[in-house]
Amino acid sequence: MTATVPAYAPLPSATLPSATLPSATVRFRISGMDCADCALSVERVVAALPGVDSARVNFGAAMLTVVPGGGVAVPEAEIAATVARAGYHAVAEAVGQNTAQAPALSWWQDRRVQFVLVAATLWLTGIVLSSAGFESPFVTALFAGAIALGGWPFARAGWQSARARRLDMNVLMTVSAIGAALLGEWGEGAAVVVLFALGGVLQARTLERTRGAIRGLMSLSPATASLMNLDGNETQVPVAALAVGDVIRVRPGERIAADGVVIEGVSVVDQSPITGESIPADKAPGDDCFAGTVNGPGALLVRVSREAADSTLARVIHLVEEAQGSKAPAQQTVDRFAAVYTPVVIAGAALLAMGGAFVTGDPRTWIYRALTLLVIACPCALVISTPVSIVSAIGTASRRGILIKGGAALEAAGSAKVVAIDKTGTLTIGRPEVVTIELLPGGAPDTRTLLATAAAVEALSEHPLARAVALRACEEGIAVPAAARFLAMPGKGASAQVNGRETVVGSMRLARELELAGTEARPSALARQMTRLAEEGSTPLFVAVAGENGGTLQPLGVIAVADRLRPHAADAVRRMREAGIAHVAVLTGDTRTTGEAIARAVGADSVRSELLPEDKAAAVRDLRERYGPVVMIGDGVNDAPALATADVGIAMGAAGTDVVLETADIALMGDDLNGIAAALLLSRRTRGVIEQNIGLSLVTKLLALVLAAFGLVNLWIAVAADMGTSLAVTLNGMRLALVNRRQRSQASDLP
């Protein structure tokens, strides 16, 4: 007797390879980093630890990745302690972990805030007493206490940087504060420390908000899943413990815990956290589902197809983190400028102090001015102007199901002038459907008879157009007669014996070969009908039946099959133009008439038809020569050559598709064309914000340098200007999150 295996029995183990880091690698979430210099400081001190092969800090994602030498793990506590000595807080997480990131500390729990508040209280108390005429050692002690408490965190970080022979903002501010104190300017020194520390805290807290997109993505995955046992009972297990082949139960309203395939149950699932699509997707046995999506009213049994560390959600999180840490060309230029700017200003400060003292005999005044220049030498606002915008833009785009693969892709998309769109599967749904059934005089008595006759032949064919005809007959509940002696004519059509008579279903080409189309000067009624339908953008198929004794073929009618346009395709093209695109071209392998009909329907400027994959790549090159930088939009598979040739390749429908996620510059997890317009608009806005930030930073620095050289600003004003500019560019970068919200609101208004 054979035992019956329940549907929820796990399949034999067949673990899929996971694109994760080496097993000994460890990652840490870092809090307290408010500048790129902070990230470099952490990177240097950790890389110097014995047994560490490499350490890399992703400033955008606030993530430290440590790879030990020889595959031997370095104690996490030792790494965390080293980071703490540098002035930051590190929390380890397992590689591939798919749990929510620890929320940021509240204001009152943040030790930096506590230090700053106490230091500010001491400084303000000293200012009040000093203003009232109380000049005493007690007032000096208040200022000294403010310097010690407020300056300790960045002085410690500055010491680490100095040991690594790196002059960052922590070193410069520490020297400025100590110099002011040595000159007897205790109040000025305290002002430098308090304002710098306060600006750093505000900037760090603001940056935490820009990194909130990662926290939002990670919180989508539930911590546990309901694992079905062989006896039919359930066990709550950690999501990380699920293996490929396990079966989990998903109750109504629950988040799906793992990528998998539905094996039992019917429901609708909100996939917007992954795909960005607002309309829930129907789910039935055989349908794929993704971790982090929300089940609707029905209960489902899902067989796990990917482990937690390799789920679509986990891969999206990893890609977003990597993208946020990448450098745009503008950022690379700024970094090169800052690498020269800071040493030059420091050298200028030294020359100013020595030269001024030598010429005037007043070293105190000129040393003070030199200290002011040291403050201005910090390129904080300039260095952070680009990454904060990139982090904000990529993070907010990810919430809408748009994956932007780094700053370079974001910047390139923002400068694009032309968009090339593949027709099949991009502008259209990618699934042929019967759109029109028309009879001919003396032909079939009604459309159901015509459809039944055609379906009898097409049911034996594997061609997509044939399947569309057979499916339409099935949907209408039409009884399809049996067919025999089937013959496929590739590129033309097919024939078979139906009810004892030869029946042919085919294209205009076959109609001409069978002399059913008349002549070019005098086309038959069939030819005129098929030509009209082709000009409307469909593919017409004639249906003809031979006489009872094998006589001449008699046309019965025409069935038009078309790949329907996606909803809002024309609206998406209009929005692309609003985003600054000057030319929209449609690329297709279909006929000229079909391509032109689609181009007219969506409002495109040009169309290239009858293209092979390599022809599409050539078309992209030609468009670039004519109009400028090109964005190519396709499905990521058949359009791979064109996507690779374009300045930016955008692939649609990437959810669950490894190749697309890894190769496209920008990937839309869903199939909403409006996401493309949103990505282009966000890219252009990001480019504008970056230019604003860089311009503001440079103007502020140059103005401060001139004023400081002539003694027109003091230390605390220089600090206030520097940190104020840094905070301004950070907040300006965060405006990109508002762009995303407006776009989401506009999308929800679509019919």
Catalytic residues: 422
Which residue in 212, 271, 305, 359 sits closest to 737, CA to CA? 212
Write the DSSP string, 40-62: HHHHHHHHTSTTEEEEEEETTTT
**Bridge partners of residue 270, in order along the sequence:** 294
What one-character DSSP code corresponds to residue 386?
Answer: T
What phi-psi label fits residue 141: left (phi over 0), alpha (psi between -120 and 50 degrees) or beta? alpha
> Is residue 500 helix, strand or coil?
coil
Q: Which residues contact 433 (CB under 8 A, 6 or more apart)?
A: 468, 472, 561, 562, 563, 564
CA-to-CA distance for 649 and 664, rounded, in angstroms? 6
**Bridge partners of residue 667, in order along the sequence:** 403, 651
Burial classification of residue 88, based on how many CB atoms lie within 10 Å of its CB (0-12 exposed, 13-18 middle, 19 or more buried) = buried
By the 8 A CB rule, do 45 and 79 touch? no
| Token pair for 313 | 């959600």
Q: Which amino acid is at 17?
A: P
Q: How far is CA 681 from CA 326, 330, 646, 742, in A?
A: 20, 18, 18, 11
Length of the chain: 751
By the 8 A CB rule, do 162 and 171 touch? yes
> Is residue 501 helix, strand or coil?
strand
Burial classification of residue 516, based on how many CB atoms lie within 10 Å of its CB (0-12 exposed, 13-18 middle, 19 or more buried) = buried
Q: How far is CA 74 from the centre of its chain?
A: 33
> Is residue 690 helix, strand or coil?
helix
What sign does the dihedral 213-217-220-221 (CA atoms) show?
A: negative
